[in-house]
Amino acid sequence: MSDNGKMWGARFEGELDPQFAEYQDSLQHDISLAFADLDTNLAWSEALVSAGVLTDDDFDKIATVIEGLAAHWHEHGIPTDSDAEDVHSFVEQQLVAKLGDLGKRIHTGRSRNDQVATDMRLHLREWVGCLVESIEGLCLALVEKAAVHAGDAIPGYTHLQRAQPITIGHHALAYVEALSRDRERLIDAHNRFDQCPLGSGALAGTAFDVDRDALAARLEFQHGPTRNSLDATASRDHLCEVAFACSMTMTNLSRLAEDYVFFAAFETGFVRFGDAVATGSSLMPQKRNPDAMELIRGKAAKVQGALQSLLTLMKGLPLGYNRDLQIDKELLLPALEATNQSILVAATAIENAVFDTERCAREAGRGYLNATDLADLLVKAGVPFRDAHGIAGTAVNRAVELGVELHELPAAEQKTLLPQLSGDLAESLSVQAVLDRRNVIGGTAPVRVRAEVERWRILIAEWAEGYHEFEDFDPDEEDLEIELEQPDAE
Ligand code: ARG
């Protein structure tokens, strides 16, 4: 460190302007990389041994201090009294305080540019593991909802107009499909960023003879070292990808939330949220608001904003590293947090959403949701579909006039309007019959929904054995109980 306390201070005689000093300080945003930074310091120290810069004995001392610091921080949180400008200078300060000159040797042949790139990938892979696990939990909650309501009817909508009856289970499993793709997207993104940038130096590669393959293996990167130092230090597309995977997840959650807000409206009355996830009004005593779902819808805006900001952050940057890139963490990390919390809250809200199954079934039988089936019955009686569509439409018009449903049309009306059909419409146009007819792969028939529930149960159990390399990660621990000055709270 130079006299002015900065790791880069030697060329500078004056102090930083205090306002700028605060402006450029990123510690409050990147402190959550502290554990990753310890890992990279340890791995780099080992690489320096193989490069002949440090001895085995030096490495043992460094390892002891790093392990001690990690244990101490896990137990007591990270000290808050640092004037370091970022997490890397903070960790270096701590190492120098305990190791003296030896601590100052660790930055040999390394730059904060390859360091931050590596830290971020290590941190991100833990986040991906955590998000994947949270999505799996939500999928399971939805699958269990579907299991309970595999045969329970609810109106299905297109254009938010009643369209055809579906089962509540079918609706729940629709979101499992979408979320399972979000899960895969996260895993794909991890697969692509699973390469080690350390050894890239500031932009051109380190000048020391380090074994980058060993370094990558030590840090458990699956695809070895990055292959171009300029790209490795300057690219952030993997952050954008993860931000997109989160944004897509949030978009799906937001649609789920919107559906449930609608289901909980007085006008529909399909769902009642339990006390665990509903809130009241400070003024209107009768209110019972679906705030959990509304907040999920709201947080989606925040996460999507992060994606847009990251793309914009990147678009004008020349290669290699530019300080603009420091803002990436400020954007992405809160988005990861918001996404994870939203997934967890969504699971709780789903578990606490109680369907009024009688009302749902009754409403599925009102509003001519069986008109398509009437046309289909006519087709089966030999009428070309286009004509059948017209005949069924006329029947709907007449039923509307009479104030009845299609299956309630008086026998005389049926005879005139639908001479091709002799059977009992009440039976063949019942909600149950309409549901049962959709007995096709992907259809809403209860028997199909039950089969899908079984399929998902097996798949989710397999997931739990699959992608869980970093499942010890606990984002709450990443809060680290630090009291660094926070930006204005949300
Ligand atoms: N804190 C910086 C970041 O997150 C890394 C430091 C690189 N600083 C530099 N002057 N090259 O991007």
**Segment 45-80, tens digit of pLDDT:** 999 999 999 999 999 999 999 999 999 999 999 987
- By C-alpha distance, which of 157, 184, 9 is closest to 83? 9
CA 30, 35, 41, 44 dihedral sign is: negative
Quick: pLDDT tens for 215-248.
999 999 999 999 999 999 999 999 999 999 999 9
Of 82, 159, 247, 309, the active-site residue reads 159
From residue 250, alpha-carbon distances to 141, 239, 276, 341 in Å are: 17, 16, 22, 11
Measured CA to CA, the distance from residue 462 to residue 179 in angstroms comes to 16
What atom of ligand 1 comes closest to residue 202's alpha carbon?
A: 11
Catalytic residue among 281, 282, 422, 430: 281
The pLDDT of residue 487 = 43
Q: Which residues pair with 289 in a beta bridge?
A: 279
More confident residue, 483 or 459: 459
Residues with CB under 6 A from ligand 1: 26, 30, 86, 112-113, 116, 321, 323, 325-326
Handedness of CA 9, 12, 13, 16 (dihedral sign): negative
User: Is the bond preceding 103 in cis, omega lying within 30 degrees of 0?
Assistant: no
Closest by Cα among 438, 450, 465, 276 to 354? 276
Mean pLDDT across 353-374: 97
Token code pair at residue 137: 């939990």
Positive or negative, the CA dihedral 421, 423, 424, 428 is: negative
Least confident of 7-21, 108-122, 157-171, 369-383: 7-21
pLDDT tens-digit profile of 386-417? Answer: 999 999 999 999 999 999 999 999 999 999 99
Predicted TM-score (pTM) of the model is 0.93
User: If you measure from the C-alpha of residue 117 to the centroid of ligand 1, how many angstroms do you get, rounded to a whole number?
Assistant: 9
- With bands split at pLDDT 50, 70 and 90, how would you rate the model's confidence at 11? confident
Atom of ligand 1 nearest to the CA of 30: 4
Given this model, what pLDDT does residue 281 score? 80
Minimum-distance ligand 1 atom for the alpha carbon of 321: 11
Residue nearest to atom 12 of ligand 1 (CA): 326
For 449, residues 6+ apart whose C-beta sits below 8 A from its C-beta are: 146, 150, 151, 167, 169, 170, 173
- The DSSP result for 128-173, as a single string, is HHHHHHHHHHHHHHHHHHHHHTTT-EEEEEETTEEEEEEEHHHHHH
pLDDT band of residue 470 (cuts 50, 70, 90) is low
Contact predicate 480/73, CB 8 Å = yes
pLDDT at 482 (0 to 100): 47
Distance from Cα 343 to the centre of ligand 1, integer Å:
32
Band (134; pLDDT cuts 50, 70, 90): very high
Q: Give residue 485's pLDDT.
A: 45
The Å distance, Cα 29 to ligand 1 centre, comes to 12
Average pLDDT, the chain: 94
Task: Tell me which of 33, 86, 114, 328 to substitute to probe ligand 1's pocket, judged by most ligand atoms within 8 Å of the beta carbon.
Answer: 86
Q: Which residues pair with 158 in a beta bridge?
A: 161
Q: Inform me whether the pLDDT recorded for 8 exceeds 80.
A: no
200 belongs to the catalytic site = no
Provide the pLDDT for residue 269. Answer: 97
CA of 23 to the centre of ligand 1 (A): 13
Helix or strand holding residue 271 (H, E)? strand 271-273
Q: Any catalytic annotation for residue 159?
A: yes
Tally Cβ neighbours within 10 Å of residue 488.
Answer: 4
Place 284 in a pLDDT band, splitting at 50, 70 and 90.
Answer: confident
Q: With a cut of 70, say whether residue 195 has pLDDT above it.
A: yes
